[in-house]
Structure 1
Amino acid sequence: MQVKRNDGLTSAEALARLEQYGPNTLGETKRVSWAAILARQFTGLLVVILIVAAVIAAALGEVIDAVAIGLVVVLNGILGFVQEWQAENALEALRSMLAQKARVLRDGSEELIDTAEIVPGDVVLLSAGDKVPADLDLLTTVDLRVDESALTGESLPVSKSVGDPEPKLFMGTAVVAGHAEAQVVATGRATAFGEIAELTTSVGEKTTHLQVVLAGLARQMAIAALGLAAVVAGAGLYTGHGLHEMFLMALSLAVAIVLEGLPAVVTITLALGAAAMVRKQALARRLQAVETLGAASVICTDKTGTLTEDKMTATRIWTPGGAYRVTGGGYDPAGHIETEDGQRVRAEDDDELSRLLETAMICNRARIERGETGWTMHGTPTEAALVTLAYKGWCPVPEGEPVVAELPFTSERKRMSVLAAWRGAWILQVKGAPERILERATRYRLDGEERDLTAGERARFTAAYEAIAAEGVRVIALAQAIQPGPTPPVDEQDLTFLGFVGLMDPPRAEVKAAIRAARAAGIRVIMITGDGAATAKAVAGMVGLEIDRVLSGRDVEALSDEELDAALEAKVLFARTAPAHKMRLVRALQAKGQIVAMTGDGVNDAPALKQSDIGVAMGVRGTDVARDAADLVLLDDNFATIVRAVREGRRQFENVRKFVRYLLSSNAGEVVALLVNILIGGPLIFLATQILWMNLITDGVTAVALGLEKATPDTMNRPPRRKNESVIGKAGFAMILAFGSYTGAASLWIFYHFLGAGADEAVARTVAFTAMVFFEKISVFAFRSFHHSCTEIGWFSNRLLILALLAMVGAQLAAVYWAPLQQLLRAAPLGWEHWQMIALFALPLLVVPEAVKMIRRRTNG
């Protein structure tokens, strides 16, 4: 299986091998079949009881009741199937978006492909943060270290090189430092990992807090329902009702009380919400992220690429001999370098500038190239900007590969060094954070010669760096060191300082408004960046972050826990931080009761992402390891997307709360009417089939539509909810009690009013039954918002709700006037006097809540 290392496989070879070896997967997550979903709708305990009741009713000769119960069960099953099938399709779309990518050589050029398409013989390009996509043989390495804990259990990274006795990388491990080229020798189940376990990449398998709370509520209601059903059956038998009749009534009452499908409906709502978040450029890898986002009280955000555009451009150069401006933007090398008085300069014209540009070009892993859509870069934005700068200065491009050794940049070292054959000597080319370079520099270049770096010159250089950084420019220092000897060691001491390059990554246009929105929502935004303090503070000012104090990573290390807690109370910014600092900050905020969202993109960000309540990884420039550790992946790496996702999370929680309260208020009205009526010994106000119709048909459809409400205007003007906040709450309980009492009492009054007027019992029951249905449909408007009237949010803003209401009103009219449904529900046709009475009692349900909300809004300003 020989291939040219520099060309890789051809597309035709790759396709043929994909057919031969199959996709590079360890077994796909099995999608639930439509048949299984449909069958699941009829396996719930109460549904099974209803089926048994229908069988018993049929055996007792009550064919109409049996058919009615059967139809209700079937219709409810179909409704549940449609909802769950839609959710399954939404989750399937999310799974496909989680597919990992890998860089390979195909047809002589680098391509980014799905790891499932990798085949034996492919040449894979790896760098820090990548997951190893298959079993590989190493071809070339530079200071490669791999985390093999997923395979071996060993926690420490392992160094890898071509000269090892077994120069292999294994699928499922992660590159933590360096870079390499490697050839695929095994894929999918043929890999070492495939022989041990099946990997899964499913979304949303973990039960959410909201699901747990609602499942507990359902259990409590089930216990109450059984007790209440027993009371109702006993009272009914005592007052002379038949055993069969009270059996069905008690059963129907139990179904009316218990919201047996609520946890599933919540899961469906969150899954569809997760799909909606994708359209907002936020991919929820776990459903609990959607739920928790609404409670976020702190967002700890990186700067580069999140608050800024991540399109670095060198704008300034400073050397001991002078300062320069750089024209042009992005990665197009069409600009030039000029002195402060406007004179263009090339590398050949200035020795100090020439050496600085050489280091920028050689101490670099990035490259830029021109394609059909313009100039693009491969590598990190900072390094690509330095390559672009070298091109603008007409710096000679190295022929071949002059680099023979490399010490890669890490968040701890904050510098990168390469040993290269250049200018007829071994030269160590170094770039990194100015303070790290200056502390190792002992000389500098001026007027073509090296000079000793005195304390006065060191202070002058530091002042120049701070002045550039204060303008919001990221500053990179560059240095060289001639290394004597035929095989010199890589020694990063006694460097010759060359100068600084200032790079600007402009803030994203929408970030300032997003930070204002977060502040209005009671969410605190804390910048935690690896950049210098001056640069970070300048960018913070550009995006609207108020900063009173700047702490470095070293400051964080020096602070006690108590001092850090006090520091977090201020408007603080953290600069020059390492991953360990992020972890400590997250824990400190959580200890203060905060719900923390943390952004990250690198391998070392993974611990902090996992520790946070909501780990947010970058989808564009983030590493596979960071994305695997995160709950949310930003598909555009944009801070504003986090705020939009928070808004969506709040909307979803509020909608779940709305339809839970609405359903409970509807059930409460039915329970009040049934209990009072039975206790006073009257004829049955509702039949079993009528209760089933109300709860499993008319209320269910309406509740689903209510769950699709848009966010209210004040969604992002309220403080974050508590993570364990009750779904019902005191205000919700008061609403349930008020609406339940009114609708139950009104239905009873209507029932006995028409009975007293000489109406047939079937007619009086139909009026009360229809009145309860209309009361419940009218009540839904009060539950659309707890703070805003429908006049404010728009009566028709939720079109699906209006359609659902119209459909359910039509269904009830059919129940009253269409003979087949009349027989099933034992309903009777109604006259104008009945409808007038229903309208009279329904009107307060529409007018009073609207008036109360409007008065409260005006009173509270």
Structure 2
Amino acid sequence: MIHPDQPDWHDVRGLGRAEAAARLREEGCNELPGSRHRSLFALILEVLREPMLLLLVAAAGIYFVLGDAREAAVLLASVLGVMALTLYQEQRTERVLEALRELSSPRALVVRDGELVRIAGREVVRGDIVLLGEGDRVPADAVVLAQRNLVLDESLLTGESTPVHKRARTAGEATSPPPRPGGDDLPYVWSGTLVVQGSALVEVTATGPRSELGRIGKSLQSLSAEPSPLQRQTRVLVRSFALAGLGLCVLLVLAHGLLRDGWLAGLLAGITLAMAILPEEIPVVLTVFLALGAWRLSRRHVLARRAAAVETLGAASVLCVDKTGTLTLNRMRVHSLVVGEASFRIPTEGGAALPVVFAPLLEHAMLACEPEPVDPMERTLHESGRRYLASDRRFADWTLQQAYPLTRTRRAVALVWTRPEGGGVVAAKGAPEAIAALCRLDPAATSALLAKVEALAAQGLRVLGVAKAEVAGNGPWPEDPCDFAFRLLGLVAFVDPLRPTVPAAIAECKAAGIRVVMITGDYPGTALAIAREAGLDAGAVLTGEALDALDEPALRAQLARVSVFARVVPEQKLRLVEAFKAMGEVVAMTGDGVNDAPALKSAHIGIAMGQRGTDVAREAAALVLLDDDFSTIVEAVRLGRRIDDNLRKAMAYILAVHVPTAGMALLPVLLGWPVLFFPIHVAFLEFVIDPACSIVFEAEPAEDDLMRRPPRPARRPLFGRRILALSLLQGLGMFVLTLIVYALGLHQGEGQARALAFTTLVVGNLALILTNRSWAHTLPATLGRRNAALWWVVGGTLLALALALALPALRGLFRFAMPTPSALALAVVAGLAGIAWFEAFKWLHRRNPDRPGTRAA
């Protein structure tokens, strides 16, 4: 059964794999002009613009002016060290982003060596034979070899919103397309345009920069994405700290210059304070966390197309999911056939021959399917036909003349077939009530039919009605299939087993305070049966027809108690999303079709199906589910909560650690004491802070109660007043103890005081890392958690501190004097004691859970 305008792709050999690879090397990848990634040189230029490095270079210049070449050389060496560390982090992030770009590249279905294969869109080459279907994004400029009802949206290139129809190229017609896209009845398609209806077989004529889209690619690349709420929050925070730091630096320079008559030394002290107070790690942490978070999601079969989705996952409170393929396995199998009062159960394997009375039903159910079906339901109908009907071969020379697709008002499809000897049939299949309407059944017959459907649906079966109409001649065909004289043939029931992982995943969502809502186009009885089997709160069901009859207040009242929506068309999903959002929920919505795109775009977290979804749905979504499995969505939420939790811990640590560093750079000067910090000391601390906040906290395992907490309120910022207060209190406690140790050490001399205070601060810094690993568990409880990066940072820091204290050359560089063992022990104890109050706070909370929590979430 083939359409005359659509040759079987099996008859097309396409390019050979070797030839395609050679063209890819010769002509380049099929992508827009311009660099897809930053080169090493570009990364170095970006790193050199970092404020911390600029301050270090300025400090080195001042040391040269003061004649201290050794100190200047050490600071310049520190610049190289910081550059190396930053470049490592940047390149790691860039590699992750490049891998994600490869994953998110649009896919194309091509014929290579006579086989149908799906490849990345960037690997399409000139001469490739590409199969296009509804919802696909055209991967390259091409000429249409064959098509069926092909309609494209070319507004990306033309600005015209009206879709245009396409035809196949005629013999002798030019291969190269006209200068400009647009216009009906052309045999050409252009890269980036969208198939909104039909299918086609096309041959690629131009790729990448040679395509029409490539010629305007530079203007498209100039468009920048709007910053996310989290990025705006961090910019405000960094800007506030920078302004406060600038004011304090000016104050310190003036104080040092006026009180000590040393303006160059005052400028050096001001630079040191600026280095100590500037939280330049925050943008780095944000980039690293979101990039690595997206990479971790991809390893769990979830592609994050937008960074904002990673930060929003932790706040998801409603998951709106489809039934077929998401909650179920999407392995449709014909379960039974019903004709009148008779029924036939299809055995799983083998079994008796099909009774003759059921043959017309199965025959016309097959005829109502695509000739080369992709839909699992249509594939299983073809398989059943091949298994039971010897007569299916007699349809091989029939011609498909007309297709009437599913619409919002008619939930059935109808295909017109003609025979070589003349005449033909119209085969229709769809929702039983739609088929009843096509057959013009009276109310009594309709009620009897729907009673049978209810009985089947109560078993969790999906039910389709099938009808036929005889036609004479070869057209013209009416615009509406209702004009045909249809006769009801019977019902076909399908079984699609629930995924084994779904009940546990739904139970986990309930424990996490996340509501799961099923939205399906299936029959209400089928939806309720599957919902109950999955463990959903399925007390009632709301149909799409009933939904349309509700105003907004009534709909919100229904949403508060209904979790199963049946007979819903894609356009109604958008209304449900908007209603949930109006109720203050953070909504995740799954979808796969072209018409699902508005709902996916509107949802806080749009989730497209990677296996059965269209390109349009994937482009509209923030996440793409590569395995279409509901339990994978729950895994993504769990990981999103972990990323959200660890990001808060990292931010809390950054804010806390800058308090004692900045305080000890400022207060001794204002008190008239010897200067504690010089740029070399702050550079040393940066080598601890940078990897700790961007690598250690990112790798921190999830808290054990992560999925037993309610979702984070949507309007609560990532680091609100409470986190700021607790973080600043941690830093303040460390600052007070360091100041006390410094004051006591001054009785033993400036060098020993500096060594003791610096030791206190370094040990306190490590203590802040350890205590902020969890805001719920005390430090001893977290020591057993696996985090290799943590122990590399702790071990490396303690080794470097020991060398700075023990080696005379390093002691001179850091202006240290060797402290006595007892004084050193005091400094270590003081560094650890700075977090004692917070550890006691966590312990008291665990003893009395009714007190306000200490979680960073």
Normalising by structure 2, what TM-score?
Answer: 0.91
Tell me the amino acid that sits aligned with residue 416 of structure 2.
L
- The correspondence for 1:711, drawn from 691, 702, 715, is 702
User: Any conservation in 2 of the 1:751–1:764 contact (CA below 8 Å)?
Assistant: yes
- The correspondence for 2:813, drawn from 824, 827, 846, is 824
User: Any conservation in 1 of the 2:272–2:677 contact (CA below 8 Å)?
Assistant: no
User: Any conservation in 2 of the 1:521–1:718 contact (CA below 8 Å)?
Assistant: yes
User: Any conservation in 1 of the 2:31–2:207 contact (CA below 8 Å)?
Assistant: yes
Deviations 1:230-277 (A, max 9, x none): 223333345436333222112111111111232123112210111111
User: How far does residue 411 in structure 1 lie from its aligned partner after superposition?
Assistant: 4.9
Residues 404-415 of structure 1 correspond to what in structure 2 (within 5 A)?
A: 404-412=400-408, 413-415=410-412
Aligned to 2:291: 271
Tell me the amino acid that sits aligned with residue 308 of structure 2.
Q
User: How far does residue 586 in structure 1 lie from its aligned partner after superposition?
Assistant: 1.4
Say if 2:841 is the partner of 1:841: no
User: How far does residue 321 in structure 1 lie from its aligned partner after superposition?
Assistant: 4.3
User: How far does residue 790 in structure 1 lie from its aligned partner after superposition?
Assistant: 3.3
Larger mean CA deviation between 822-831 and 312-321 belongs to: 822-831
Distance 1:15 1:72, change over 3 A: closer
Say if 2:465 is the partner of 1:477: yes
CA distance in 2, matches of 1:642, 1:812: 45
CA distance in 1, matches of 2:715, 2:810: 44
Deviations 1:376-408 (A, max 9, x none): xx6111111111222232342235341322324
Say if 2:104 is the partner of 1:115: no
User: Any conservation in 2 of the 1:366–1:380 contact (CA below 8 Å)?
Assistant: no
Which SS does the other structure have where 2:319 is aligned?
A: strand
Which SS does the other structure have where 2:315 is aligned?
A: coil
- The correspondence for 2:384, drawn from 385, 389, 393, is 389
Residues 632-781 of structure 1 correspond to what in structure 2 (within 5 A)?
A: 632-694=623-685, 696-704=686-694, 705-756=696-747, 759-781=748-770
Tell me the amino acid that sits aligned with residue 496 of structure 1.
R
CA distance in 2, matches of 1:632, 1:435: 35
Residues 446-485 of structure 1 correspond to what in structure 2 (within 5 A)?
A: 455-485=443-473
Larger mean CA deviation between 95-104 and 731-740 belongs to: 731-740
Aligned to 2:438: 440
Distance 1:633 1:684, change over 3 A: same
User: How far does residue 805 in structure 1 lie from its aligned partner after superposition?
Assistant: 0.9
- The correspondence for 1:247, drawn from 259, 267, 271, is 267
Larger mean CA deviation between 178-187 and 145-154 belongs to: 178-187
Which SS does the other structure have where 1:345 is aligned?
A: coil
Say if 2:224 is the partner of 1:233: no
Tell me the amino acid that sits aligned with residue 438 of structure 1.
A
Larger mean CA deviation between 381-390 and 126-135 belongs to: 126-135
Which SS does the other structure have where 1:307 is aligned?
A: coil
Aligned to 1:551: 542
Aligned to 1:428: 426
CA distance in 2, matches of 1:851, 1:208: 36
CA distance in 1, matches of 2:601, 2:575: 13
Which SS does the other structure have where 1:41 is aligned?
A: helix
Aligned to 2:363: 358
CA distance in 1, matches of 2:687, 2:717: 27
CA distance in 1, matches of 2:151, 2:547: 28
Say if 2:157 is the partner of 1:151: yes
Which SS does the other structure have where 1:762 is aligned?
A: helix
User: How far does residue 16 in structure 1 lie from its aligned partner after superposition?
Assistant: 5.8
Tell me the amino acid that sits aligned with residue 439 of structure 1.
A
CA RMSD across the alignment: 2.6
User: Any conservation in 2 of the 1:602–1:626 contact (CA below 8 Å)?
Assistant: yes
CA distance in 2, matches of 1:670, 1:813: 20
User: How far does residue 305 in structure 1 lie from its aligned partner after superposition?
Assistant: 0.9
Which SS does the other structure have where 1:530 is aligned?
A: coil
Which SS does the other structure have where 2:752 is aligned?
A: helix
Aligned to 1:75: 81
Tell me the amino acid that sits aligned with residue 614 of structure 2.
T
Residues 95-174 of structure 1 correspond to what in structure 2 (within 5 A)?
A: 95-162=101-168, 165-174=185-194
Which SS does the other structure have where 1:305 is aligned?
A: coil
CA distance in 2, matches of 1:112, 1:65: 60
Say if 2:415 is the partner of 1:418: yes
Distance 1:267 1:843, change over 3 A: closer
CA distance in 1, matches of 2:216, 2:689: 49
User: How far does residue 486 in structure 1 lie from its aligned partner after superposition?
Assistant: 4.6
Aligned to 1:445: none
CA distance in 1, matches of 2:664, 2:751: 16
User: How far does residue 538 in structure 1 lie from its aligned partner after superposition?
Assistant: 1.2
Deviations 1:133-153 (A, max 9, x none): 223333333222222222222
User: How far does residue 846 in structure 1 lie from its aligned partner after superposition?
Assistant: 5.5
CA distance in 1, matches of 2:371, 2:501: 29
Deviations 1:714-766 (A, max 9, x none): 2222222234433333332332333222222212222222333xx22111111
User: How far does residue 440 in structure 1 lie from its aligned partner after superposition?
Assistant: 1.2
Which SS does the other structure have where 2:573 is aligned?
A: helix
Residues 24-103 of structure 1 correspond to what in structure 2 (within 5 A)?
A: 24-27=30-33, 29-103=35-109
- The correspondence for 1:298, drawn from 318, 335, 344, is 318
Distance 1:99 1:478, change over 3 A: same
Which SS does the other structure have where 1:245 is aligned?
A: helix
CA distance in 1, matches of 2:729, 2:26: 68
Distance 1:638 1:839, change over 3 A: same
Deviations 1:48-101 (A, max 9, x none): 233123112211213243233323322222111110100000001011112222
Aligned to 2:523: 532
Normalising by structure 1, what TM-score?
Answer: 0.90
User: How far does residue 822 in structure 1 lie from its aligned partner after superposition?
Assistant: 2.2
Which SS does the other structure have where 1:48 is aligned?
A: helix
CA distance in 2, matches of 1:119, 1:738: 60
CA distance in 2, matches of 1:359, 1:168: 35
User: How far does residue 323 in structure 1 lie from its aligned partner after superposition?
Assistant: 0.8
Aligned to 1:380: 375
Tell me the amino acid that sits aligned with residue 648 of structure 1.
L
Q: Percent identity?
A: 36
CA distance in 2, matches of 1:587, 1:126: 32
User: Unpaired segments of 5 or more residues in structure 1?
Assistant: 329-333, 337-343, 368-377, 443-452
Which SS does the other structure have where 2:74 is aligned?
A: helix
- The correspondence for 1:403, drawn from 381, 391, 399, is 399
User: Any conservation in 1 of the 2:544–2:567 contact (CA below 8 Å)?
Assistant: yes
User: Unpaired segments of 5 or more residues in structure 2?
Assistant: 1-6, 171-183, 851-857
Aligned to 2:347: 327
Say if 2:350 is the partner of 1:345: no
User: Any conservation in 2 of the 1:314–1:503 contact (CA below 8 Å)?
Assistant: yes
Distance 1:725 1:123, change over 3 A: same
CA distance in 1, matches of 2:330, 2:511: 27
Aligned to 1:786: 775
Aligned to 2:788: 799
Aligned length: 821
CA distance in 2, matches of 1:462, 1:788: 58
Deviations 1:404-428 (A, max 9, x none): 2232433523222111235974111
CA distance in 1, matches of 2:147, 2:495: 32
Aligned to 1:339: none
Tell me the amino acid that sits aligned with residue 412 of structure 2.
R
Distance 1:456 1:385, change over 3 A: same
Which SS does the other structure have where 2:490 is aligned?
A: strand
Larger mean CA deviation between 641-650 and 160-169 belongs to: 160-169
- The correspondence for 1:589, drawn from 572, 580, 597, is 580
Larger mean CA deviation between 846-855 and 246-255 belongs to: 846-855
